Amino acid sequence: MLEKGYLMNEFSLKADLHVHTIASGHAYSTVAELAREAAAKGLKAFAFTDHGPAMPGGPHRYYFGNLRVLPHIIEGVKVIRGVELNILNEAGEVDLPPRYLSMLDLAWAGLHTLCFDGSGEGSYTRAALNALKNPYIDGLVHPGNPDFPLEAEEVVRQAKKYNKVLEINNSSFHVRHGSLGPCRQFASLAVKHGAMVVVNSDAHFASDIGRSEKALEVLAEAGVPEKMVINCSMQKIEQLLQARLDRIKNLEGR
């Protein structure tokens, strides 16, 4: 089981779906180290989601093209191969082409300094709305980042419409100053519109995997029920991964 402090209120996280390896260029653990730590904390699965190639120091696209060499289970923990894409512009374009995205189990997208060409709430919101439409993208990470203010209700409606996930990112409360207000707003709006959420550590070092205490506090305050939190249920995680496969299959069958 997770250490005391990782299980809060009625929430019981089964997996962490957003962590980084050394391949991101500014993170410091390997896949094997993350798996060991996930197992020690009683997690059933984790997704390593390294930054896309547009991030300074990020991996080349070939890194994402060769992930099939990894075992599906390491240390008894399911290993989900993902990416944290950079949204590049208002059109919602991202930094891996479909050929590579179709090889991955999971793709989050987010707005990051140095990677996004645009400025202002309208621009960030258009970018987020367009990214959420993309069938290769499963959800939006750290939408509560105060560096990229979004028209929150529009974004939540879009996530609901396209059956995509919105993240409450635990690292935001430590590294993105001013995240609390926007994250509370996203959590409340997710309840209002019935949009699914995911709670992730965004760990850049193995010992932080599964850390989610502040994010869970925000969810509890906003009245988000456990059934709306994707990673409180392995069944919901499997459904998320299957929905992605189905969307891609539909595209390719066209």
Residue numbers at the binding site for Zn ion (CB under 5 A) = 84, 110, 202
Closer of 45 and 144 to Zn ion (Cβ) = 144
The Cα–Cα gap between 209 and 80 comes to 14
The Cα–Cα gap between 206 and 60 comes to 22
- Find the shortest distance in angstroms from Cβ 127 to Zn ion: 14
Closer of 76 and 130 to Zn ion (Cβ) = 130
User: What number of other Cβ atoms are within 10 A of residue 63's Cβ?
Assistant: 17
- Find the shortest distance in angstroms from Cβ 141 to Zn ion: 5
Closer of 26 and 249 to Zn ion (Cβ) = 26
Alpha-helical segments (H) within the chain: 31-40, 61-65, 98-101, 121-133, 152-161, 172-175, 180-193, 213-222, 234-253
Closer of 49 and 130 to Zn ion (Cβ) = 49
- Find the shortest distance in angstroms from Cβ 18 to Zn ion: 6
Q: Three-state SS for 156? A: helix
- Find the shortest distance in angstroms from Cβ 142 to Zn ion: 6
- Based on the number of CB atoms within 10 Å of its own CB, is 116 exposed (0-12), middle (13-18) or buried (19 or more)? buried
